[in-house]
């Protein structure tokens, strides 16, 4: 098989640019990021980026898009249906913690300010999140019905869980909080479930 001197590098130039974009955008933010640095990071010429993306904005959006997809995929559990809400929330925390630790650059993008998103991406982003939240609320509702949990507003539970996910990102990614993912996930799940009530 004749791949030539390019070796393994060839794995799709488009993806190489996206990978470089994750690094550079996460280092500097959208406005401070330079197309030149992205090109250099990808090991290609400046002009080449424009063969694959029409503009800096498009590149950013596609990169953000892809990054979120990767993140959301990491949260998926195979045999969801068979798990209790408690187990699902536990795996949500666990996956999130692990993902944050393993993809610091990428998460920086995912949980970022989205000022520069255009309407189309905003819609996609909004839809994706709303869809996730809707599914989550549905699961909360079912858990209430089957008496796994007490009668609470699913909206608030969703808010609580997503708030905790965001709040976890900073200490893990920025401060390098070094805890055992499984232990932390367990404790958080317990907090959510048992609340603060004295025994």
Chain residues in the site for DNA (CB under 7 A): 13, 33-36, 44-48, 50-52, 54-57
Distances (CA, A) of 177 to 30, 66, 91, 156: 26, 26, 19, 27
- For 79-104, give the DSSP string: TGGGS-HHHHHHHHHHHHHHHHHH-H
| Closest distance of CB 120 from a copy of itself, Å | 17
| Closest distance of CB 154 from DNA, Å | 42
| Closest distance of CB 192 from a copy of itself, Å | 6
Distance CA(196)–CA(199), nearest Å, equals 9
- Do the Cβ atoms of 98 and 173 come closer than 8 Å? no
| Closest distance of CB 166 from a copy of itself, Å | 6
User: Taking CB under 8 A as the rule, does residue 112 contact a copy of itself?
Assistant: yes
Among 11, 28, 46, 134, binds a copy of itself (CB under 8 A): 28
CA angle 116, 22, 172 (to 5 degrees): 95
Looking up tokens 């536990």 gives 90
Cβ-count burial of 188 within 10 angstroms (0-12 exposed, 13-18 middle, 19+ buried)? buried
Q: Which parts of 60-79 interact with a copy of itself (CB under 8 A)? A: none
Binding at 3: pick from a copy of itself, DNA, none (beta carbon under 5-8 Å per type): none
Q: Tell me the three-class secondary structure of 183-198, residue by residue.
A: HHHHHHHHHHHHCCCC
Closer to a copy of itself by Cβ: residue 43 or 163: 163
Among 9, 12, 32, 120, binds a copy of itself (CB under 8 A): 32
Q: How far is CA 76 from the centre of its chain?
A: 12
Distance CA(177)–CA(169), nearest Å, equals 10
Among 66, 124, 148, 181, binds a copy of itself (CB under 8 A): 148
| Closest distance of CB 147 from a copy of itself, Å | 6
Stretch that binds a copy of itself, among 11-19, 36-44, 72-80, 165-173 (CB under 8 A): 165-173
Which residues make up the interface to a copy of itself (CB under 8 A)? 28-32, 85, 112-113, 115-116, 143, 147-150, 152-153, 156-157, 159-160, 162-168, 171, 187-188, 191-199
């Amino acid at each position: 098989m004749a791949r030539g001197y390019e070796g393994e590098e060839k794995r799709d130039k488009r993806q190489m640019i996206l990978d470089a974009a994750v690094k550079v955008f996460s280092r500097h933010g959208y406005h401070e990021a330079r197309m030149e640095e992205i090109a250099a990071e990808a090991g290609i010429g400046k002009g080449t980026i424009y063969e694959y993306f029409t503009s800096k904005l498009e590149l950013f959006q596609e990169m953000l898009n892809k990054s979120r997809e990767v993140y959301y995929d990491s949260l998926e559990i195979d045999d969801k249906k068979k798990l209790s809400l408690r187990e699902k929330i536990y795996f949500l925390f666990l996956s999130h913690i692990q993902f944050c630790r393993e993809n610091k650059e990428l998460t920086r993008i995912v949980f970022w300010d989205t000022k520069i998103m255009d309407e189309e991406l905003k819609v996609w982003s909004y839809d994706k999140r709303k869809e996730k939240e809707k599914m989550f609320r549905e699961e909360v509702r079912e858990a209430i019905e089957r008496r796994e949990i007490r009668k609470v507003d699913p909206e608030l539970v969703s808010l609580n869980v997503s708030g905790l996910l965001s709040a976890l990102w900073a200490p893990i990614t920025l401060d390098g909080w070094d805890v055992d993912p499984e232990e932390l996930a367990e404790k958080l799940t317990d907090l959510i479930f048992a609340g603060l009530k004295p025994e």
